[in-house]
Structure 1
Amino acid sequence: MNYFISESNDPYFNLACEEYLLKNYDEDFFFLYINRDSLVVGKHQNTLAEINLDRVNAENIPVTRRLSGGGTVYHDFGNLNYCLIKKGEKGKLVDFKAYSQPIINSLQKLNVNAKFEGKSDLTIDGKKFSGNASHVYKNKVMQHGTMLFSSDLKRLNQLLKVNPLKYKDRGVRSIRSRVTNIAEYLSSPISITDFADLLIQEFENTYPNSTAFTFSEEDLNAIEKIKTDKFLTWQWNYGYSPNYQFEKLCAYSSGKILEIEMKVEKGFIIELEITGNCIKREQFQSFLDTFKGISHINTLIFKTIELINLDLYFNNISSKELYQLFF
């Protein structure tokens, strides 16, 4: 078992690192990383249905998709993430409980009554502090998860809050659980880096003959390429979302009302209908046609709206008001 603690706080890099080690090394790995403030969605989720887009944009929060399924998670400097990559027998690769045991052992040695519950959760006093997910590749499994150590739980809820009624799709919805931080249960305070060191020691005990690992320059270049070509792209982070229908009604303070129905496939708008009491119907189809075939992404939608003379199609609607209709 090779082990290391990532020196990067870049979520795109660390997720690319997971994929690179899983697909390009034949050895087992355990490593830890701490990401800066970011949101990481599950592989089969509709990104826009999971995040508070307005807040994410205002705070410039990175959003990316991981290889594994499950729900959306919030990362910050109070959240420690682990990744275990292990070879095994096909059909018997996934074992959340067994691979999470070193984490539970480490906490119990700190007199924290951590438990494995349900399918893949780690809890303290019935509250979740770690969500785990896995991805199988050939004869290997990658199991990874979050560990809330001293995370900003209020901000977590703010960034993940979204109206699920806007989206109709077959994507996996996140299930919100009662969560807690590990630090609240420690009899003697330790830092998150001290906790990371304890976990490394426990995994060394669990997997004898473990070896500290360091990336070569070739490794780092390959990881950066995966990061650029995949984890930084709109196609992966948003376009990979399942096809969905988006519906929203906006009632503006001036008394104007607009309602939108939109069908999106592979991230692109393929059908669009807008109704309301402030629409000039004569040329309105040409307005709708402008948006068909473009990506349902905030920057592109806003740019498209800004280029249109809205007075041709609406009675007294601003670009900002119209933009609110699309998300």
Structure 2
Amino acid sequence: MTKTRILISQSTNPWFNLAVEDIIFRSMSADQRVLFLWQNADTVVIGRAQNPWKECKTDKMEQDGVKLARRQTGGGAVFHDLGNTCFTFMAGKPEYDKAVSTQIVLNALAKLGIDGEANGRNDLVVKDENGIRKFSGSAYRETIDRGFHHGTILMSADMTRLANYLNPDPKKLQAKGITSVKSRVINLNSIVPEIDYSMICDVMMQAYKEYYNSADVDVEYISPEASSTLPEFETKFAKQSSWEWNFGSTPQFNHQLNERFGFGGVDVYLDVVHGVIEKAQLYTDMLDPLPIEHFAAQMQGAQYSEVGILQVKQHVIAQYPAEQEILDELCAWLITQIS
């Protein structure tokens, strides 16, 4: 007999929640089905094949304390705040069926008077006088014997902040991987003004229990304080929160940029693989190009980040201390361009 479980996270840390999701999915027996409800505070979540430098304003995110989290599934970049609810449905095969979990979400929202419908493969929408408006996006993952469907529900998300952190200014950055597709979106509080996270959780749990005729299921609360009960949690959380996963897992891309300084013009060509500069070419018309040539050589193998650039700068300054002012100016510019 299939065991039905409902889990609710008591953390709003995206790295915690995504680590919990992956651990539960990997460790659950194939005769279980799980509903996991959670929220992330101030986070940009990207798909596993996306480039954060292309999708996000990483410098603005760092300034405002907004986390970057790469999920295990595909799809586009989204901004999460506490006006957003996340859900995950997991089940063993052959029971796993994303059409079923989608219907459960729609059944839940119908209890609040929201007439939603599925639109295409990934979105849930409502129709109003402005046309079709998206309030939920989804992504999926399957293995040989199980699958999961996770997604978001926009309740009262701050749409202005979404614009602050996504859609960076165009750069000469040629990136492989998946680019987000932008949609017309709507918060459900425009339909049900009082809607909040607890209301969503209540109706989601009701609809889930009703669908599977499992009225006696107890809610399990997941928190960082109780994480020791999760197998290999520390290892998984360390990976989920690491630069290597969130930035370093980026597919290969090229970045071309140029600027004119008081000391001369500089053209920069970078090949970046998994967040590390594999090849760097810097061209300049300055009178003594040796410091710039040395800088290019030292960039190879450096992290494509502010930390990586500053480490290269310190090494080159040690070799060319008289050129520190030039190197400071070059690096300050480079950091603004890759952030």
TM-score normalized by structure 1? Answer: 0.89
Structure 2 partner of 1:268 = 276
Question: Superposition RMSD on alpha carbons, in Å?
Answer: 2.5
Structure 2 partner of 1:9 = 12
Contact persistence 1:72–1:174 (CA under 8 A): yes
Structure 1: unaligned runs, 5 residues or longer:
none
Distance 1:158 1:312, change over 3 A: same
Percent identity, aligned pairs only, is 25
Distance in 2 (CA, whole Å) between partners of 1:190 and 1:283 is 60
Per-residue deviation, residues 226-251 of structure 1 (Å, max 9, x unmatched): 111x1011221111111111122345
Distance in 1 (CA, whole Å) between partners of 2:308 and 2:268 is 17
Which residue of the other structure, out of 246, 253, 266, is the alignment partner of 2:255? 246
Q: CA deviation at 1:49?
A: 1.4
Q: Report 1:135-154 matches (<5 A).
A: 135-154=141-160
Q: What is the identity, as a one-letter code, of the residue corresponding to 2:273?
A: E
Structure 2 partner of 1:324 = 336
Contact persistence 1:280–1:313 (CA under 8 A): no
Distance in 2 (CA, whole Å) between partners of 1:131 and 1:110 is 19
Contact persistence 2:295–2:312 (CA under 8 A): no
Contact persistence 1:247–1:259 (CA under 8 A): yes
Contact persistence 1:5–1:33 (CA under 8 A): yes
Q: What is the identity, as a one-letter code, of the residue corresponding to 1:223?
A: F
TM-score normalized by structure 2? Answer: 0.86
Q: What is the identity, as a one-letter code, of the residue corresponding to 1:239?
A: G
Q: CA deviation at 1:76?
A: 0.7
Contact persistence 2:44–2:80 (CA under 8 A): yes
Which residue of the other structure, out of 135, 139, 160, is the alignment partner of 1:129? 135
Aligned length: 321
Per-residue deviation, residues 68-114 of structure 1 (Å, max 9, x unmatched): 1001111111110001111113xx95x44331111112222322221
Structure 2 partner of 1:292 = 300
Q: What is the identity, as a one-letter code, of the residue corresponding to 1:11?
A: P
Per-residue deviation, residues 20-53 of structure 1 (Å, max 9, x unmatched): 1111111211011011111111011122211101
Structure 1 partner of 2:312 = 304
Contact persistence 1:260–1:325 (CA under 8 A): no
Distance 1:297 1:323, change over 3 A: closer
Distance 1:296 1:217, change over 3 A: closer
Distance in 1 (CA, whole Å) between partners of 2:100 and 2:200 is 20
Structure 2: unaligned runs, 5 residues or longer:
none
Q: Which sits farther off after the overlay, 209-218 or 102-111?
A: 209-218
Distance in 1 (CA, whole Å) between partners of 2:164 and 2:205 is 32
Distance 1:218 1:312, change over 3 A: closer
